[in-house]
């Protein structure tokens, strides 16, 4: 098949849609590390639990929007619980954080199988979004435009929350100087829990958003967690804007390489990460945020 304008448009749009999914799971990972300096390997499990919880609510209510809300709430709840019950005593012990969250990832994946079974759930169609829309004169699946919109909405919403609201100021101040903020009567522990809940909500939202695009399976979180780490490394650990750009870069590059060189697509994320680490070890953008103590 020769290269055509139609092909270029479809590859680019598909890449952006996949990049939006990568961003939803990577954004929470980047946010938690950038603000808290906690590398949460259980983050992929929040993606999976959000997918299954959202799908369950969607099946029972018939509302995709309700499913999205349920997925985000499931991720937020688990994220807050992990910080409150497990991470809080380990802020100064990063090695223990890694070991704990790695084990927790396995436990939560087994929990998914115990609750919903080991079988994968097939693609689920969103009524009204199962057709195609003309984009630059080309037919493009409507739901993939929704994915792009969700990614863009998450990017703008979290940016405005952190940069333009009183809560965002408290969050950033709390991780920069915990003692000073506490003297103002603010419960910094709750602020830290909120950051984990926000990161988990983004992951859970991304999980249920995959149902009409990629189906749902117990191992879903592991696949997207790997991509999320690649995105965070390329964009720069803790750089929220860098994470968004890197997610788009990986999504679009995977589509183009996958079409022209299918055998090379599998190892592409690792190759891109290796190249960035060799040329710019700190990632494309500098680290943002502070450190929790």
Contacts of 113 (CB under 8 A, 6+ apart): 218
**Paired tokens of 155:** 């990017």
For residues 55 and 204, the answer to whether their CB atoms sit within 8 Å is no
Q: For residue range 243-293, list pLDDT tens digits in order.
A: 999 999 999 999 999 888 888 778 888 888 888 888 888 888 765 444 444
Average pLDDT, rounded, for the chain? 86
Cα 202–205–206 angle (5° rounding)? 85
Rounded CA-CA distance 167/189 in Å is 14
Q: Does residue 144 fall inside a structural domain?
A: yes
Q: Does residue 287 fall inside a structural domain?
A: no
pLDDT at 64: 94
117 band by pLDDT with thresholds 50, 70 and 90: very high
Q: For residue range 60-85, list pLDDT tens digits in order.
A: 999 999 999 999 999 999 999 999 98
Rounded CA-CA distance 13/80 in Å is 34
Rounded CA-CA distance 176/253 in Å is 36
- Cα–Cα distances (Å) from 115 to 52, 67, 182, in that order, read 9, 17, 40
pLDDT at 204: 95
Percent pLDDT > 90 in the chain is 43
Rounded CA-CA distance 135/148 in Å is 13
Q: Does residue 290 fall inside a structural domain?
A: no
Q: Is the pLDDT of residue 35 over 80?
A: no
Rounded CA-CA distance 144/13 in Å is 8
Rounded CA-CA distance 176/139 in Å is 48
121 phi and psi angles, rounded to 5 deg: -95, 135
Residue 78: closest CA among 44, 110, 31, 55 = 44
Q: Does residue 181 fall inside a structural domain?
A: yes
Q: Does residue 205 fall inside a structural domain?
A: yes
For residues 213 and 143, the answer to whether their CB atoms sit within 8 Å is yes
Q: For residue range 165-204, list pLDDT tens digits in order.
A: 887 787 777 666 667 767 777 777 788 888 899 999 999 9
Q: Does residue 180 fall inside a structural domain?
A: yes
pLDDT at 175: 60
Q: Domain limits at 111?
A: 5-279
Q: Does residue 285 fall inside a structural domain?
A: no
| Interval 141-165 mean pLDDT | 90
- For the chain, how many structural domains are there in total? 1
**Paired tokens of 231:** 């995105």
Percent pLDDT > 70 in the chain is 93
Q: Does residue 286 fall inside a structural domain?
A: no
7 band by pLDDT with thresholds 50, 70 and 90: confident
């Amino acid at each position: 098949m020769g290269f055509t304008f139609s092909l270029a448009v479809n590859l680019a749009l598909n890449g952006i849609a996949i990049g939006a999914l990568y961003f939803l799971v990577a954004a929470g990972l980047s946010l938690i590390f950038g603000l808290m300096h906690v590398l949460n390997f259980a983050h992929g499990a929040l993606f999976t639990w959000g997918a299954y919880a959202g799908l369950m609510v969607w099946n029972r209510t018939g509302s995709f929007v309700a499913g999205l809300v349920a997925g985000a709430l499931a991720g937020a709840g688990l994220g807050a619980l992990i910080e409150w019950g497990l991470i809080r005593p380990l802020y100064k012990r990063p090695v223990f954080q890694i070991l704990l969250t790695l084990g927790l990832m396995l436990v939560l994946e087994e929990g998914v199988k115990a609750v919903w079974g080991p079988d994968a759930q097939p693609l689920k169609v969103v009524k009204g979004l199962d057709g195609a829309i003309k984009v630059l004169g080309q037919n493009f699946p409507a739901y993939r435009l929704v994915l792009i919109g969700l990614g863009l909405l998450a990017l703008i919403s979290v940016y405005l929350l952190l940069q333009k609201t009183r809560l965002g100021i408290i969050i950033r101040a709390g991780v920069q100087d915990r003692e000073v903020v506490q003297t103002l009567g603010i419960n910094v522990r709750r602020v830290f829990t909120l950051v984990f809940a926000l990161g988990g909500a983004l992951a859970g939202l991304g999980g249920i958003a995959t149902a009409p695009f990629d189906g749902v399976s117990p191992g879903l979180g592991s696949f997207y967690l790997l991509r999320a780490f690649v995105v965070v490394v390329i964009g720069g650990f803790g750089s929220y804007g860098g994470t968004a750009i890197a997610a788009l870069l990986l999504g679009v590059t995977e589509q183009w390489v996958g079409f022209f060189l299918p055998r090379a697509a599998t190892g592409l994320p690792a190759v891109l990460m290796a190249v960035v680490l060799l040329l710019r070890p700190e990632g494309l953008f500098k680290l943002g945020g502070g450190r929790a103590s």
